[in-house]
Amino acid sequence: MSLIVMLHGCTKDLVPIDYADINPSIFPKSAADIKAMVNAAYHPLRGSYGDGIHSTSERGIMYLSDATTEILFGKYGDQNLASLQNYRPDNTGFTRYYDDFYNKISRMTVTIDLITRSTVSEALKKEAIAEVRCARGILAYTLYDFYGPIVIAPLEVLNSPLVEEPLARLSKEETVAFIEADLVAAAQDLPAPADAEYGRFNKALAKMVNIRLSLHEKNWAKVIALSNDIIAYNRYSLDANYSAMWDLEGAKASKEVIWAIPCDYAGTSENQWQLMVLPAAFAPKGGFGTISSTWWFYDRFESNDTRKKMLITEFTGTDNVTYSRANPGVILDKGPIPLKINQDAARTTGLTTVDIIMYRYADVLLSKAEAIANSGTPNQEAMDLVNRVRARAGIPDKRLADYSSLAAFNDLVLFERSHEFWCENGQYRADLIRHGKFISRCQEVTQSIYTNPSKVVFPFSLTAVSEGKGKFIQNPGYN
């Protein structure tokens, strides 16, 4: 009997201990806790094959977006479905961005609430909330750009996770308002470009993403105002050397880069672009050769354009074969190798230390040019902005007289955008859609029989539809 009593004495406290977890009763308390939660808001925006939306692989925004345009062509896999615009609701490679990432918007919503209710200083709260809202704005814009309006769960719903509550997608206006509110608030409280640490959000970035949103909505006045704000920071200029921005430390040294995602060999944030585009036989270090550019794209660069030098059209492989357009093998048959970044031959894994450049000042200039032209007619101010970007690329100025029609000017800007921003942030897809050329370009370049006007947004998975219990409506045309 005494044994039983003894045993009972030592089992009163049946609590498991997992030293690798953080107990919620001690979190979040300190400034360090708040910072860690802010870092968590950046986490989904990394490049990461597993769970970073900006992965430079087929599981990332840029790769897949550019593959739907003439910039990239894939012969197999999701990249092939993208190139032929042949995606359907059961292609998880296309539905996963929504399924995998839209709840991170909720995480940020809850994080903002936790920060608000925490006991740290108001200054710290303000700073932290601005970063989280910027992250939420970027993520929501990215998903909106891919899928159209999405489900954004309100805090009250998030506070009772065990209550099942099917939600409908917001309306277009609500979605845009939500994103814009975040970006405006973030721009308000984020540090100025000069004060922000490299790799972190700043005012200019929040405004740049807002420019993209405003372009998407063709709100030209906002584009102009936001562009002017960024120009007025007087912090940014076009780098003289285009390709140097993608040198090993290029983005960090650049005066042009508004936001880049720091990446390194050991991961955390991963850039694996060389692995994706270099063919196996490439010397000194090959890759998977999962995707190439198109000759259609290459042929539309002007002859002296420095920006096309990073499209590799000829190389001698480890097999001693010289591959070229004339002797393409299965490597250069569809187009050149789009090695937009430094080869980083010293890389020891599939990952490189070259950072992922997301937004650059050139985008501000071209956006402003497009907005000026579209809010009235193309004028010299707009053409000058375009020519500034062209001049850096080493190609001659265009004359306004040759592009006096809006359609011609828009075409010019569109070409300029593709030549300037290929393989960076994937926004060229949105540019084509905005100008109504997304479908026709695909048909022209790939002869695809699969595309149709509904392909301007990606489909949702059947599980998203099912979870909505009838409230969640699939994008049209995906049956």
Partner 1 sequence: MATTLFKKIVLFLFVCTAFANAMYAQETVSGKVTDAEGVPVSDVSVQIKGTTKLTVTNRKGDYSIAAPGSGVLIFTSVGYTAREIALTGSKTIDVTLLVSNTDIDEVVVIGYGTQRKRDLTGAVSSVKTKDLVMSTGPEIGSMLRGKVAGLTIRQNSAQPGGGLDILIRGAGSEKASNAPLIVVDGFPVSDLVQPESGGRYQAGSQSVLNSFNPNDIESIEVLKDASATSIYGSRAANGVILITTKRGADGALRVQYANNFSFQPYNNSFDVLPLNEWMQVRNEAAREQWEFDNNTGPYGPRPLTDAEANPVNGPFRKLYTQNAINNVGKGTDWLDLVTRNGSTKQHNLTVSGGNKSTKYLLSGNFYDQDGIVKNSGFKRYSLRANIDQELSKYVKLGFNLTTSRIDNDNTQLGGAEFENSGVIRAAIQQGPHIQAIDEDGNYPLNPQLALQPNPFSLLTITDEGRIERMLLNTFVDITPVKNLVIRLKGGMDRSYAKRQSYIPTTTLNGALEQGRAFISNNDRDDYLMEATVNYNKTIAGDHKFDILGGVSQQKTINRFSTSASTGFITDAFLWNNLGAGSTPLASTSSGSENKIASYFGRLNYNYKSRYLFTATVRTDGASVFARNNKWGTFPSAAVAWNVAEEPFFNGMNRVFSQLKLRFSYGQTGNATINSNAFPAYGAYPAWLSASDNRLIGVSLSRLENPDLKWETTTGANLGLDFSLFKGKVDGSIEVYNNVISDLLDTLVLNSYHEVREIFYNIGKTRSKGLEITINTRNIQTANFQWRTSFTLGRYKDNWEERSPDWKPAVYESEKDPIRSVHSRVSDGILQIGEKVPVSQPELKPGMIKIKDINGFARDANGNPAVDANGRFQRTGKADGIIDEADRMLLGTSDPSYAVGITNILTYKKFSLNFDFNALFGRQLADPNYIAYGIGAYGVNSNGYNAFRSVKNRWTPTNPSTTQPGSFWGFSPYQVGDFFLQDAWFIRLQNVSLGYDLPRKLFGNVFSAARVRVDGNNLFLITPYTGVDPETDSYTAAYPYIRTFTVGLNLTF
- Kindly state the tokens that stand for 440: 């026709």
> What gap in Å lies between CA 217 and CA 85, rounded to an integer?
23
* By CB under 8 A, residue 287 contacts partner 1: yes
C-alpha atoms less than 13 angstroms from C-alpha of 342 in its C-beta half-sphere: 19
Contact between 199 and partner 1 (CB under 8 A)? Answer: yes
Which residues between 176 and 195 bind partner 1 (CB under 8 A)? none
Rounded to a whole number of angstroms, the minimum distance from the CB of residue 295 to partner 1 is 12
Least distance from partner 1 to the Cβ atom of residue 307, Å = 27
Give the nearest distance from C-beta 348 to partner 1 in angstroms.
Answer: 4
- Write down the least CB distance from residue 456 to partner 1, Å: 16
Q: Which residues of 126-140 are buried (b: 16+ CB within 10 A; e: fewer)?
A: ebbbbbbbbbbbbbb
In angstroms, how far is CA 291 from the centroid of its own chain? 18
Choose among 464, 425, 456, 460: nearest CA to 60. 425
- Tell me the three state secondary structure of residue 53: strand
Shortest CB 202 distance to partner 1, Å = 13
- From residue 335, give the alpha-carbon distance in Å to each of 267, 282, 339, 379: 30, 15, 12, 35
124 binds partner 1 (CB under 8 A): no
Could you say which DSSP state residue 295 is in?
H
- 235 makes contact with partner 1 (CB under 8 A): no
Looking at beta carbons only, is 37 or 138 nearer to partner 1? 37
Assigned token pair, 241:
């050397």
Site for partner 1 in 9-38 (CB under 8 A): 10-11, 14-24, 27-28, 33, 36-38
Closest to partner 1 by CB, 225 vs 317, is 317
Token pair recorded at residue 474: 């699939």
The answer to whether residue 228 forms part of the interface with partner 1 (CB under 8 A) is: no
Smallest distance, partner 1 to C-beta of residue 350, A: 8
> Binding pattern to partner 1, positions 62-101, x when CB under 8 A?
---------------------------xx--------x--
Per rule CB under 8 A, is residue 478 in the interface with partner 1?
A: yes
**Each residue of 258-279: b (16+ CB within 10 Å) or e?**
bbbbbbeeebebbbbbbbbbbb
The minimum distance between CB 469 and partner 1, in angstroms, equals: 4
Would you say 33 or 411 has its CB closer to partner 1?
33
User: Shortest Cβ distance from residue 330 to partner 1 (Å)?
Assistant: 7
Decide if 412 contacts 435 (C-beta within 8 A): no
Is 172 an interacting residue with respect to partner 1 (CB under 8 A)? Answer: no
Rule CB under 8 A: say whether 464 interacts with partner 1: yes
Which CB, 162 or 232, lies closer to partner 1?
162
DSSP code of 89?
Answer: T
Least separation in angstroms between residue 403's CB and partner 1 is 36
Q: Scan for tokens 């809850």, then name that residue.
A: 110
Binding residues for partner 1 restricted to 390-419, rule: CB under 8 A: none
* Residue among 319 and 397 whose Cβ is closer to partner 1: 319
- Least distance in angstroms from the C-beta of 462 to partner 1: 7
Contact call for residue 42 and partner 1 (CB under 8 A): yes
For partner 1, the binding residues in 94-123 under the rule CB under 8 A are 99, 102-107, 110-111
Residues 6+ apart with CB under 8 A from 193: 202, 203, 204, 233, 235, 236, 258
When asked if residue 284 is in the footprint of partner 1 (CB under 8 A), the reply is no
Residue 260 β-bridge partners: 357
Cis peptide before 284 (omega within 30 of 0): yes
Of these, 93, 148, 191, 468, which contacts partner 1 (CB under 8 A)? 468
Beta bridge partners of 360: 257
Number of other CB atoms surrounding residue 349 within 10 Å? 11
- Here the tokens at position 86 are 């042949």
Q: Which of 122, 156, 195, 197 binds partner 1 (CB under 8 A)?
A: 197
By CB under 8 A, residue 291 contacts partner 1: no
When binding is defined by CB under 8 A, the residue of 229, 333, 384, 411 that contacts partner 1 is: 333
Pairing of strands 356-360, 257-261: antiparallel
* Closest CB 468 distance from partner 1, rounded Å: 7
The Cβ of residue 99 has, within 10 Å, a number of other Cβ atoms equal to 14
CB of 405 to partner 1, least distance (A): 36
Give the interface segment with partner 1, choosing from 225-233, 292-300, 357-365, 462-470 (CB under 8 A).
462-470
Number of residues counted as binding partner 1 (CB under 8 A): 93
Placement of tokens 């937009």 in the chain: 340
Question: Could you give the string, one character per residue 240-279, with x where binding to partner 1 holds by CB under 8 A and - elsewhere?
Answer: ------------x---------xxxxx-xx-----x----
Distances (CA, A) of 100 to 51, 85, 95: 8, 21, 9
167 touches partner 1 by CB under 8 A = yes
Give the angle 434-438-443 at the CA atoms, nearest 5°: 160
Listed in sequence order, the residues at least 6 apart from 409 whose beta carbon sits closer than 8 Å to its beta carbon are: 373, 378, 382, 383, 403
